[in-house]
Amino acid sequence: MERKLKVGDIVYGTVSGIQRYGVFVELDHGYQGLIHISEAKNGYVKNLHQIVHVGDRVRVMIIDINEYNQKISLSLRVLEQKNKSSILSGNRPKNLNKESRKKTFFTNHRSNIGFSTIKNELPYWIEEAKEKISKKK
């Protein structure tokens, strides 16, 4: 479970929530990430509920890991592009399109990076709340 994730990894997860702006995915490695609506698929997306549903298993690519706020950005669209390229060319593409190759992301692989699931954070939050209540008395 303590696998170090890095940009470019293709991972599996379960859709845990859907908002207007994106899809939250709980990854198999104990992390949580977000698929922004612009990374859901090519073209205009009116409603994310037409693409995925809560509980769906999804295969996503990690496109960014923000060390400072511990957020993982995911993409379904990049894998969709790769699959189309593979089908058209008959083999696996060596490079993504020019736009994808120009993107650079900062990642510190030595840090344990990613959203913690609510289950992992809840005991800490409860203790923190108890301390605040006891200070007010």
pLDDT at 87: 44
pTM of the predicted structure, to 2 decimals: 0.57
pLDDT category at 125 given cuts 50, 70, 90 is confident
Domain holding 114: CATH number? 2.40.50.140
With beta carbons less than 8 A apart as the criterion, state whether 28 and 16 touch: no
In a domain, 100, yes or no: yes
Domains: count for the chain: 1
In a domain, 5, yes or no: no
d(C-alpha 49, C-alpha 75), whole Å: 16
Domain that holds residue 54: 10-136
In a domain, 74, yes or no: yes
Count how many Cα atoms sit within 13 Å of the Cα of residue 59 in the half-sphere of its side chain: 6
The pLDDT tens digits of the residues spanning 59-118 come to 999 898 887 777 889 998 888 766 655 544 555 445 555 555 555 555 555 555 555 567
In a domain, 3, yes or no: no
